[in-house]
Amino acid sequence: MFSGPKIQTDWDTHPPKLLWRQPIGAGWSGFAVVGPWAFTQEQRGDWEMVTCYRLDTGDLVWSQRHETRYHSTIGGDGPRATPTVANGQIFTLGATGTVSCIELNGELVWRRDLVAEMDASLLEWGNSCSPLIYGDQVIVSVGGTGQALCALSIDDGSTSWCAGDDVASYCSPSLLELDGHEQIVILQASSVAGYDPIKGVQIWSSPWSNAQPNVAQPLKVSANQILVSSGYGVGSKLFSLKYGDPWQVTEEWRSPRMKAKFTNLVIVDSYVYGLDDGTLSCLSLADGSRVWRGQRYGHGQVLLVGRTLLVLAENGEVALVRASPDQFDELTRFTAIEGKTWNSPTLAGTKLLVRNGQAAACYELALQP
């Protein structure tokens, strides 16, 4: 959800203004923006890099690199996760399992190769979760017996706790309050689970399909409900949770609809919107029934901007769609970038950042009067 100025939805008369476009290294990372700086991850040759660009000009300010490379003929090369910025520092997870803490000026604070140190499995399509910052801890998915989720010290990267036995998947951890209790929720290889970040223990889990990669983050629906979704024919389920010893996890409904392959879902009122195996769709949260099925955008990404869906399509086009259950209503679109684009877009004020494994671009979006 993006809360900010109302952007212009008539791009025929008020088209996005290109501020800059330039080549970039391989990878599916997005941009994290802080003030005048935009941070991302990319692959250049044998070097995996965290890079900082000027938001207004696209000029490279600094790069922090280390020698490692993830390669996949089908999945593409380079890092997958978007950097997390907190407490004046940048936290990243590379495609081969390396966690780094970097100052905003590019100085390395610490780095750990968790896959090697913890004898974890390198994921088939590259490690992909963005770190979650909780207090003085960096929370990342590692995977394996006793280390499904791990917390590292912000100060030096030392291990604070590890818990859970599931294999890692491609989902990033989320901090949610459910039934009055703060917890970290994550979709793993064969389960969706909640962890107590204070005690460092798994407090509940529920089985999930392990047939294919699980990517989308579980989405909080109400005070005690989450929506979980996967692609590859799996679909979605609504769970309710009740605090206790043990926690009670109840499946409210399941649906073959809303198969979120790469993208995260968004909620407006009592409806969920997202790319259902590449086609933008709307589902009722009451029972999981499909309300409408709209345009196919491929395996792109969706941002909620006010009550408008900003869709970055797999082919690099950007579209605005009204977030309404009445009908599918695409308001406008333009070609922002060319080539396969699985990366998440970033909207910083009125500046829209897009990138893929070949190029990055920044556009200024006009405001409504």
Per-residue pLDDT at 211: 67
Distance CA 354, CA 319 (A): 13
Q: How many CA atoms lie within 13 A of 166 on its CB side?
A: 25
The DSSP code for 82 is: P
Helices (H), the chain: 114-117
Pick from 293, 332, 270, 353: nearest CA to 32: 353
Distance CA 69, CA 46 (A): 6
Q: For the chain, list residues with pLDDT below 50.
A: none
Angle at 121 between CA 203 and CA 109, to 5 degrees: 80
Sign of CA dihedral 77, 81, 82, 84: negative
SS3 42: strand
CB atoms within 10 A of CB 315: 14
Per-residue pLDDT at 351: 97
Angle at 130 between CA 125 and CA 132, to 5 degrees: 145
Maximum CA extent, the chain: 59
User: Residue 188: is it exposed, middle or buried by C-beta count within 10 angstroms (0-12/13-18/19+)?
Assistant: buried
Residues 6+ apart with CB under 8 A from 73: none
Pick from 118, 122, 109, 125: nearest CA to 145: 118
Per-residue pLDDT at 212: 75
Distance CA 40, CA 50 (A): 6
